[in-house]
Amino acid sequence: MLRIRLHGRGGQGIKTASQILGTAAHLAGFQAQDFPLYGAERRGAPIVAYARFSKNIVLERGPVAQPDILLIGDETLLSDPMAAVTQGTDASTLIFINSRHTSQDLKKHYHLESLPVQLDISELCQKYIQKPMILSTALAAVGVRLMGHIDLHHLLQAIREELGQGRINPEKIAANLTLAEEVFQKAPSFDLEFSESDNGFSASRLVILERRPPVDSAPLIFATGNMAQRKTGNWRTHRPVVHNEQCNGCGICYARCPEGDIRMDANDKPVIDYDHCKGCLICVEECPKHAIEIIREVESWN
Ligand code: SF4
Ligand code: SF4
């Protein structure tokens, strides 16, 4: 079996990446399993998804605790201990990081046990689909390439199937296919070996779970008005920067920011609260004067 864990943020297409991976593996003749894990979180919150592939029936269930491949779509998560991105990895884990930094710099900076594979897929996403934050196709292409055993045409067919369910128009699907081909050519292939063991799971080994009331697993929050204390600014991978000379003071960005992180100053110019702006970039899309620039955030540690 091969186990893959994908990390990213809500809105980056991490769940779709795992679905493309699963479908590509299925088309290539493997038994496949893929699923995300997230709760009632906002866009930008850390999320994780999983995939398992085997030549036999996949009986193992639940989160992948010890991945063979770790796909990190969002480099900033490595600085967030709560995201636990490298949990369960060791020197044998094949780690991919979407980054502009070199593999050597990433290993040193994040104290990794092994040299990670690095590729700036955000830049490729910007080039081909003009969305540097939508990583689904590119991250899936990296995963397919790293694990090996799956041909390019299976990857492309999986992308057509997963994106072509009425959600994305044909031109955008074509752009995603070109993106996938480019990533497939650029990422290294390792042709990983499948372990024979399924961790001792078998069809006869059932775990009977005790029924408990939902309140046992739901967080209870008793404090009032504490949202401002959660500084979601560290979720941000791209920073919106207002150019006041282009801004006409219409206030649309102020009205459309889902987090209430923009206020208008005395001159009717927007001021962004970077402690809490999570980088969804809705303000950029909404600004009629194109007065808000996108600056990539993760270069800051150089
Ligand atoms: S300021 Fe812009 S990027 Fe930041 S949270 Fe608000 S809409 Fe999103
Ligand atoms: S939407 Fe654009 S033009 Fe309007 S206030 Fe915001 S930055 Fe200025």
> Which run of H or E residues covers position 172?
helix 170-186
pLDDT recorded at residue 215: 78
- Beta-bridge partner residues of 3: 52
Q: How far is the CA of 283 from the centre of ligand 2 (A)?
A: 8
Averaged over successive runs of 10 residues, the pLDDT of the chain (302 residues) comes to 94 94 96 88 85 92 93 92 91 94 95 94 94 94 94 97 84 96 93 65 65 79 79 87 97 94 96 94 95 82 56
CB-CB contact of 86 with 61 (8 Å): no
Please tell me the pTM assigned to this model.
Answer: 0.81
Q: Which CATH number fits domain 227-301: 3.30.1310.10, 3.30.70.20, 3.20.170.30, 3.40.190.170?
A: 3.30.70.20
For ligand 1, pick from 274, 278, 285, 294 the residue to mutate: most ligand atoms within 8 Å of CB: 278
Q: For residue 200, how many other CB atoms are within 10 A of its CB? A: 8
The closest residue, in CA terms, to atom 4 on ligand 2 is 250
Distance from residue 42's CA to the centre of ligand 2 (Å): 24
What pLDDT score was predicted for residue 302? 52
Task: Check: CB of residue 282 under 8 Å from CB of residue 48.
Answer: no
pLDDT of residue 219: 72
Structure confidence at residue 236 (pLDDT): 86
Specify the residue for token string 């955000």.
122
CB of 259 within 6 A of ligand 1: the answer is: yes
Q: Residue 37: in which H helix or E strand, if any?
A: strand 31-37
The answer, yes or no, to whether any atom of ligand 1 lies below 6 A from the CB of 279, is yes
Domain ranges of the chain: 2-186, 227-301
**What is the structure's pLDDT at 198?**
53
Report which protein residue has its CA nearest ligand 1's atom 8. Answer: 280
Q: For CA atoms 165, 166, 167, 168, give the dihedral sign.
A: positive
CATH assignment, 2-186: 3.40.920.10
Mutate to test the pocket of ligand 2, among 241, 242, 244 (most ligand atoms within 8 A of CB): 242
Assigned token pair, 211: 């029924």
The whole-angstrom separation of Cα 298 and Cα 132 is 13
Q: In what order do the strands lie in the sheet with 31-37?
A: 31-37, 46-54, 2-9, 69-72, 94-98, 117-119
State the Cα–Cα distance between residues 33 and 22, nearest whole angstrom: 6
